[in-house]
Amino acid sequence: MMDRIQKALTEKGKKAFVPYIMAGDGGLETLKEKLLFLQECGADAVEIGIPFSDPVADGPTIQEAGIRALSRGTTLRKVLEKVQTFKPEISIPLILMTYLNPLVAYGLEKFSEDAAESGISGCIIPDLPLEEEDFILPALEEHEISLISLVTLTTPVERIKEIGSKATGFIYAVTVTGITGARNDFSEDLAAFLSSIKSVSRVPVLAGFGVSNAEQVREVCKHCDGVIVGSKIIDLFEQGDLAEIKRLVSTSEGVSLT
């Protein structure tokens, strides 16, 4: 049976576009308008970043957005409380991207309960590999929150198979060997990498890390089911360039389904 995220990413019959925003960047009071705007632009789901003091998987753009959010007093608890207030107005899945420690501090059971209550459909935890998943999986499963798995260019074939066979929601294919942030070009192996994940995954495969313009969105979408764009969306919100966000979000629609 398809979970909520899987369904949202496939039911429109187009390549998916999932933007990432940092909760609390620009003030938590802007979260609602940003989410409604992205929903209206046609985003198929939104990743909400939870700021963390030591984001080792993130590049400068997301690090700085996190520092701005923390300086405004953003906490996981406040984010969940805020989302709860406008939950009925959001019809696309919301996925939290958070490092593990804020969840540990919150309490894994309590977090899963409160996140579900706020309508959160999934979690991406960049410092939680397959080996440690049992740490939180039972709590998330109990509340029907998908744990999104990451696959990277350094993941061996056998491991991709193992991750692919267990994945829920979608598989997050990390398109660069590195941290988040805009890049000029991708590895030549990218097409083969994405195809190899597609061939073993029972859920959609979305590519992210370093995707920052329409051309890259179109290129990456040829080989998988959609894209995640983070740093670029953060920059555009920071510059107030909503028109460009709208254009970028709609780019994936034009890529024909393979």
Partner 1 sequence: MTTNTYDLPDEKGHFGNYGGRFVPETLMHAVLELEKEYNRALADEEFHADLQKLMKDYVGRETPLYLAGNLTEHAGGAKIYLKREDLNHTGAHKINNTVGQALLAVRMGKRKIVAETGAGQHGVATATVCALLNLECVIFMGKEDIRRQQLNVFRMELLGAKVISVDAGSGTLKDAVNEALRYWVTNVRDTHYILGSVMGPHPFPKMVRDFQSVIGKETKQQFFEKEGKLPDALVACIGGGSNSIGLFYPFIEDNSVSIYGVEAAGLGLATDKHAASLSKGKPGVLHGAMMYLLQDEDGQIQEAHSISAGLDYPGIGPEHSYLHDINRITYESVTDDEALEAFQLLSKLEGIIPALESAHAIAYAVKLAAGMSKDERIVVCLSGRGDKDVQTIKDRIGGGME
Given the DSSP bridges, would you call strands 205-208 and 226-229 parallel, antiparallel or unpaired? Answer: parallel
One residue of 92, 95, 128, 139 binding partner 1 per CB under 8 A = 128
State the number of CA atoms in the 13 A half-sphere of 224 facing the CB: 34
Which residues are catalytically annotated? 47, 58
Provide the residue count of the chain.
258
One residue of 3, 127, 235, 238 binding partner 1 per CB under 8 A = 127
Q: Which two tokens stand for residue 82?
A: 């805020």
Dihedral through CA 15, CA 16, CA 20, CA 23, nearest 10?
A: 160
Instruction: Determine if 185 is a binding residue for partner 1 (CB under 8 A).
Output: no
Report in angstroms how near the CB of residue 206 gets to partner 1 at its nearest: 15
One residue of 36, 130, 192, 242 binding partner 1 per CB under 8 A = 130
Report in angstroms how near the CB of residue 80 gets to partner 1 at its nearest: 12
Q: Which residues contact 219 (CB under 8 A, 6 or more apart)?
A: 186
One residue of 2, 41, 42, 70 binding partner 1 per CB under 8 A = 70
Q: Given the complex with partner 1, which of 41 and 153 has the nearer CB atom?
A: 153
Phi, psi (rounded to 5 degrees) for 146: -80, 140
Residue 216 CA to its chain's centroid (Å): 17
Q: Given the complex with partner 1, which of 207 and 255 has the nearer CB atom?
A: 207
Instruction: Determine if 235 is a binding residue for partner 1 (CB under 8 A).
Output: no
160 vs 202: CA distance, rounded Å: 12
Phi, psi (rounded to 5 degrees) for 95: -125, 125
Q: How far apart are the first and last CA of the chain?
A: 23
Contact 107, 139 (CB under 8 A): no
One residue of 76, 83, 96, 97 binding partner 1 per CB under 8 A = 76
The secondary structure element, H or E, covering residue 211 is none
Q: Which stretch binds partner 1 (CB under 8 A): 24-32, 82-90, 124-132, 233-241?
A: 124-132
Per-residue binding letters, 2-21, with partner 1 (x by CB under 8 A):
--------------------
Q: Given the complex with partner 1, which of 46 and 171 has the nearer CB atom?
A: 171
Instruction: Determine if 177 is a binding residue for partner 1 (CB under 8 A).
Output: yes
One residue of 27, 36, 89, 101 binding partner 1 per CB under 8 A = 101
Q: Which two tokens stand for residue 209?
A: 């890390």
How big, in percent rounded to 5, are the helix, strand and coil portions of the chain? 50, 15, 35
Instruction: Determine if 242 is a binding residue for partner 1 (CB under 8 A).
Output: no
One residue of 53, 85, 195, 258 binding partner 1 per CB under 8 A = 53
Q: Given the complex with partner 1, which of 118 and 251 has the nearer CB atom?
A: 118
Instruction: Determine if 52 is a binding residue for partner 1 (CB under 8 A).
Output: yes
> Residues interacting with partner 1, by CB under 8 A?
52-57, 59, 63, 70, 75-77, 99-106, 126-132, 135, 150-156, 159, 174, 177-179
